[in-house]
Amino acid sequence: MEPVECRAVIWFLYLKGRTPRETFDEIKETYGVDAPSYDLVKRWHREFKHGRNSVETAPRPSRPPSAIDEASVRQVEAAILEDRRITIRQIAQEVNISTGSVETIIHDHLYLHKVSAR
């Protein structure tokens, strides 16, 4: 049973005035082993009772997938071409990304490597 489908059934039975136990028993009778647990039914009844009216998963805030995009790659490349002796820390401050992201851009996107240790 899909989570959204499960919540929709619980929402429907909640609106019909069923208790969590009655809802669980009816879902168990219909879906058998695919039925959600009683604790899950109780939790969603409580959510609906406290004003939730959506069965969809709520969006969660998260970090952006990566600081590395075309603009930052171009900025790092321009900084290196302008001053070949610039350090990774200086580039990171200039472009406003982490040193790890700068290293990734230099090695994986620009395919640059150190020629001399001096």
**CATH number where 18 lies:** 1.10.10
Q: Is residue 17 part of a domain?
A: yes
Give the model's confidence band at 117: pLDDT under 50 very low, under 70 low, under 90 confident, else very high: low
Nearest alpha-carbon partner for 13 in 22, 2, 1, 5: 22
In this structure, the answer to whether residues 42 and 7 fall within a common structural domain is yes
Spatial separation of the C-alpha atoms in residues 54 and 12, rounded to whole Å: 11
Q: Is residue 114 part of a domain?
A: no
Q: Is residue 37 part of a domain?
A: yes
Spatial separation of the C-alpha atoms in residues 99 and 72, rounded to whole Å: 12
- pTM for the complete prediction? 0.52
In this structure, the answer to whether residues 45 and 74 fall within a common structural domain is no
| Encoded tokens for 16 | 């019909």
**Range(s) of the domain holding residue 14:** 3-49
Locate tokens 């990566």: which residue?
A: 66
Spatial separation of the C-alpha atoms in residues 59 and 83, rounded to whole Å: 44
Helices 38-49 and 3-15 cross at an angle (nearest 10°) of 60
* Mean pLDDT of the 80-96 span: 93
pLDDT of residue 79: 95
- Looking at the structure of the chain, the number of domains it has is 2
CA distances from 4 to 51, 54, 107, 114 (A): 17, 10, 43, 53
22-61 tens-digit pLDDT: 999 999 999 999 999 999 999 999 999 999 888 888 777 8
> How many Å from the N-terminal Cα to the C-terminal Cα in the chain?
63
